[in-house]
Chain A
Amino acid sequence: MSAGIVSYGAYVPRYRIKVDEIARVWGDDANSLKSGLMVHEKSVPDFDEDTATIAVEAARYAVKRSGINAQRIGAVYTGSESHPYAVKPTSTIVAEAVEATPVMTAADYEFACKAGTAAIQTCMGLVQSGMIDLGLAIGADVAQGAPGDALEYTAAAGGVAFIIGSKETEFLAVIEDTYSFTTDTPDFWRREGMPYPEHGGRFTGEPGYFKHVTHAAKGLMAKMGTKPGDYDYAVFHQPNGKFPSRAASILGFTKEQIKPGLVVPKLGNTYSGSCMMGIAATLDQAKPGDRIFATAFGSGAGGDAFSFTVTDKIEEIRNKAPTVMELLADPIYVDYATYAKHKGKIRLA
Chain B
Amino acid sequence: MPIFQAKVEVNLRPSVLDPAGEAAKSASLRLGIEGVNKLRIGKSIMIEIDASTEDEANKSIQLLCDRLLSNPVIEKWSFELNRIPIESQVSL
Chains A and B form a bound pair: no
